[in-house]
Amino acid sequence: MPRKARELSALEVRRLTGPGRHAVGGADGLFLRVTQAGSRSWVLRYPTGEKRLSASGKPFAVYRDVGLGSYPNTSLANARKQAEAIREKLAKGVDPLIEKKAAKQARRAAELRRLSFAQAVAAVVKIKQAEASNAKHAGQWATTLATYAVPALGTMSVADIELAHVKQALEPIWQDKPTTAARVRQRIETVLAWATAHGHRTGPNPAAWKGNLDAVLPAPSKITKKAHHRAMPIDAMPEFWKRLCGRDDMPAKALAFAILTGSRSGEALGARWQEFDLAGATWTIPPERMKGRREHRVPLAPVAVELLRSLPQGDEGLVFTRDKGRKLADRAMTDLLAAMGEKERATVHGFRSTLRDWMSERTATPHDVA
């Protein structure tokens, strides 16, 4: 511990200009440190309580320095006041440097917890864009959250979001758009789970359904209004098919192919030549293009093989294209139905239902096969 120093006056301190550490008294361990460049600052030196051995084997006490500000910005009186306050803490077993480090860590933790919901959404959407098998799915994540969640939760810290806030965001669409609302809830849950995993919040996820929101909101399955895709009546198909086959445009050929194979519009429009074995009359759709993420093999009827052979063929590339080999627009077949005056009677997806009805009602196909 430093020897008791004589208490210097303010004038005497002002005259301390030689490089080194000068004891000023008035508080044990208080020094004015002067650098070679002439800058001056206050330092309080105190023992840590730790003992070490010198090179000669003699024990010595370990001291620690804590800065109290520059001189003369920090006056002698102020420096002594600070030094006495620290001495009082040391007497209670509180190390000021350790306390300062803990306070810095606490501030850092608080900064992490102040991450806004909108910032968390941006981070999660970026991850989903990298994971998504198609850009449309990633876009849906960004759009639904921006439309239904960010307006209510966007500026809030993720650490402050509770069940009441999530409920407030979902209630306006829960009854009118139950399917969308259920997806929004799941996506809010994912965003908050990401925030928890990255240290931005703690505690249960307020967007979780089971044992949480299910106590304050009706189950989506109880309020969802199932809207069936409009399906062409079986008896209307021959006349419609005749008109469809009379067209020579690519959307018509794509729709005819989708009808013949019972495929979804995305599966048909994304079909590539390398997926087909025309000699074996099979179409193998890879897992990444299937809704269920499983490879799907489709047997091709002779008329479907004939339709494919009528198209410009290649070893690779899309089967149904528009100018310069580009993929047909997602709405190409829907727009075709509208142009043919069938918008109110049928949808592209509805032809799957028509095929299923035909197999059940007009053929002896076993149920499981159908």
Q: What is the CATH number of the domain that holds 183?
A: 1.10.150.130
Determine the Cα–Cα distance for residues 174 and 220; give it in Å rounded to an integer: 8
- Which of 152, 157, 165 is CA-nearest to residue 112? 157
Instruction: Take residue 160 and report the two structure tokens written for it.
Output: 């402050």
Instruction: Take residue 38 and report the two structure tokens written for it.
Output: 């002439």
For residue 53, the SS3 value is: strand
Q: Which of 113, 134, 169 is the last residue of a domain?
A: 113
Reported as a single tens digit per residue, the pLDDT across 178-189 is 888 999 999 999
Q: Which of 184, 203, 223 is the last residue of a domain?
A: 223
**For residue 70, which phi and psi values (nearest 5 degrees)?**
-85, 160
Element (H, E) at 46: strand 40-53
Q: Is 89 within a domain?
A: yes
Question: What confidence tier does 3 reach under pLDDT thresholds 50, 70, 90?
Answer: low
- Give yes or no for residue 110 having a pLDDT over 80: no
Q: Which of 153, 188, 223 is the last residue of a domain?
A: 223
Q: Is 4 within a domain?
A: no
Q: Is 229 within a domain?
A: no
The answer on 268 and 179 residing in a single domain is: no
pTM of the model: 0.45
Q: Is 369 within a domain?
A: no
Given this model, what pLDDT does residue 208 score? Answer: 96
Q: Is 319 within a domain?
A: yes
Residue type, 104: K
Instruction: Take residue 84 and report the two structure tokens written for it.
Output: 């006495």
Given this model, what pLDDT does residue 291 score? Answer: 74
The answer on 102 and 22 residing in a single domain is: yes
- Give yes or no for residue 2 having a pLDDT over 80: no
The answer on 175 and 160 residing in a single domain is: yes
The answer on 338 and 269 residing in a single domain is: yes
Least confident of 35-49, 184-198, 352-366: 352-366
Given this model, what pLDDT does residue 287 score? Answer: 87
The answer on 298 and 280 residing in a single domain is: yes
Question: What confidence tier does 35 reach under pLDDT thresholds 50, 70, 90?
Answer: very high
The answer on 104 and 165 residing in a single domain is: no
Q: Is 3 within a domain?
A: no
- Give yes or no for residue 200 having a pLDDT over 80: yes
- Which of 267, 260, 271, 256 is CA-nearest to residue 333? 256
Given this model, what pLDDT does residue 94 score? Answer: 76
Q: Is 182 within a domain?
A: yes
The answer on 123 and 108 residing in a single domain is: no
Q: Which domain holds residue 298?
A: 234-362
Q: Who wins on pLDDT, 370 or 188?
A: 188
Give the count of domains, the chain: 3
The answer on 211 and 106 residing in a single domain is: no
The answer on 158 and 278 residing in a single domain is: no
Distances in whole angstroms, Cα of residue 156 to Cα of each of 117, 151, 216, 228? 6, 10, 22, 39
Question: What confidence tier does 231 reach under pLDDT thresholds 50, 70, 90?
Answer: confident
Q: Is 32 within a domain?
A: yes
CATH number for the domain harbouring residue 253: 1.10.443.10
280: CB partners within 8 A, 6+ apart: none
Given this model, what pLDDT does residue 1 score? Answer: 44
Given this model, what pLDDT does residue 196 score? Answer: 94
The answer on 106 and 124 residing in a single domain is: no
CATH number for the domain harbouring residue 26: 3.30.160.390
Mean pLDDT of 175-180: 87
Given this model, what pLDDT does residue 85 score? Answer: 86
**For residue 34, which phi and psi values (nearest 5 degrees)?**
-115, 125
Mean pLDDT of 202-214: 94
The answer on 278 and 162 residing in a single domain is: no
Residue type, 369: V
The answer on 203 and 240 residing in a single domain is: no
